[in-house]
Protein backbone atom coordinates (compact mmCIF):
# COMPACT_ATOMS: atom_id res chain seq x y z
CA UNK A 1 0.00 0.00 0.00
CA UNK A 2 1.44 3.37 -0.99
CA UNK A 3 0.93 6.25 1.39
CA UNK A 4 1.18 9.77 0.03
CA UNK A 5 4.26 11.54 1.29
CA UNK A 6 3.97 15.07 2.49
CA UNK A 7 6.42 17.55 3.87
CA UNK A 8 6.26 18.90 7.37
CA UNK A 9 5.21 22.54 7.56
CA UNK A 10 8.01 25.08 7.48
CA UNK A 11 9.38 26.01 10.90
CA UNK A 12 8.38 29.36 12.30
CA UNK A 13 11.44 31.40 13.15
CA UNK A 14 11.27 34.34 15.48
CA UNK A 15 12.96 37.66 14.96
CA UNK A 16 16.55 38.08 16.04
CA UNK A 17 17.02 40.06 19.24
CA UNK A 18 18.27 43.62 18.79
CA UNK A 19 22.00 43.92 18.27
CA UNK A 20 23.71 44.59 21.61
CA UNK A 21 25.49 47.89 22.09
CA UNK A 22 29.00 47.83 23.53
CA UNK A 23 29.26 49.19 27.07
CA UNK A 24 31.04 52.55 27.05
CA UNK A 25 34.54 52.29 28.42
CA UNK A 26 34.71 48.49 28.21
CA UNK A 27 37.70 47.51 26.08
CA UNK A 28 36.38 43.97 25.53
CA UNK A 29 33.04 45.26 24.23
CA UNK A 30 34.72 47.85 22.02
CA UNK A 31 37.08 45.23 20.56
CA UNK A 32 34.14 42.91 19.85
CA UNK A 33 32.16 45.77 18.28
CA UNK A 34 35.08 46.53 15.92
CA UNK A 35 35.40 42.85 15.08
CA UNK A 36 31.63 42.69 14.45
CA UNK A 37 31.80 45.68 12.09
CA UNK A 38 34.68 44.08 10.16
CA UNK A 39 32.74 40.82 9.90
CA UNK A 40 29.69 42.72 8.62
CA UNK A 41 31.80 44.56 6.03
CA UNK A 42 33.20 41.21 4.84
CA UNK A 43 29.71 39.72 4.52
CA UNK A 44 30.41 37.28 7.36
CA UNK A 45 27.02 36.93 9.04
CA UNK A 46 28.26 34.11 11.25
CA UNK A 47 31.05 36.32 12.57
CA UNK A 48 28.56 39.13 13.26
CA UNK A 49 26.36 36.71 15.18
CA UNK A 50 29.33 35.34 17.15
CA UNK A 51 30.33 38.85 18.23
CA UNK A 52 26.74 39.65 19.25
CA UNK A 53 26.65 36.53 21.45
CA UNK A 54 29.99 37.43 23.06
CA UNK A 55 28.96 41.04 23.73
CA UNK A 56 25.70 39.85 25.34
CA UNK A 57 27.52 37.26 27.45
CA UNK A 58 30.28 39.62 28.59
CA UNK A 59 29.71 40.45 32.29
CA UNK A 60 29.17 44.06 33.37
CA UNK A 61 28.03 45.85 36.46
CA UNK A 62 27.95 44.61 40.00
CA UNK A 63 28.04 40.87 40.43
CA UNK A 64 25.58 39.11 42.66
CA UNK A 65 26.95 38.64 46.13
CA UNK A 66 27.76 35.12 47.22
CA UNK A 67 25.29 34.39 50.05
CA UNK A 68 27.86 32.21 51.81
CA UNK A 69 30.47 34.98 51.98
CA UNK A 70 30.59 37.15 55.11
CA UNK A 71 29.30 40.70 54.69
**Which value, in Å, is the radius of gyration of the alpha carbons in the chain?**
21
Cβ-proximal residues to 67 (8 Å cutoff; 6+ apart), any chain: none
In a domain, 35, yes or no: yes
Whole-angstrom distance, CA of residue 33 vs CA of residue 42: 14
Model confidence band, residue 63 (pLDDT cutoffs 50, 70, 90): very low
Model confidence band, residue 5 (pLDDT cutoffs 50, 70, 90): confident
- What's the mean pLDDT when you consider all of the chain? 84
With b for 16 or more beta-carbon neighbours within 10 A and e for fewer, the 32-64 pattern comes to bbebbeebeeeeeeeebeebbebbeeeeeeeee
Model confidence band, residue 58 (pLDDT cutoffs 50, 70, 90): confident
Please count the structural domains in the chain. Answer: 1
In a domain, 46, yes or no: yes
Name the residue with higher pLDDT: 36 or 12. Answer: 36
In a domain, 63, yes or no: no
In a domain, 4, yes or no: no
- Domain region containing 33: 27-57
Residue 43 has pLDDT above 70, yes or no: yes
Greatest C-alpha distance within the chain: 74
In a domain, 33, yes or no: yes
In a domain, 11, yes or no: no
Amino acid sequence: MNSPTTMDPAPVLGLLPPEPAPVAGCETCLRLARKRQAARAAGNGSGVSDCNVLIRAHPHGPRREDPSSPA
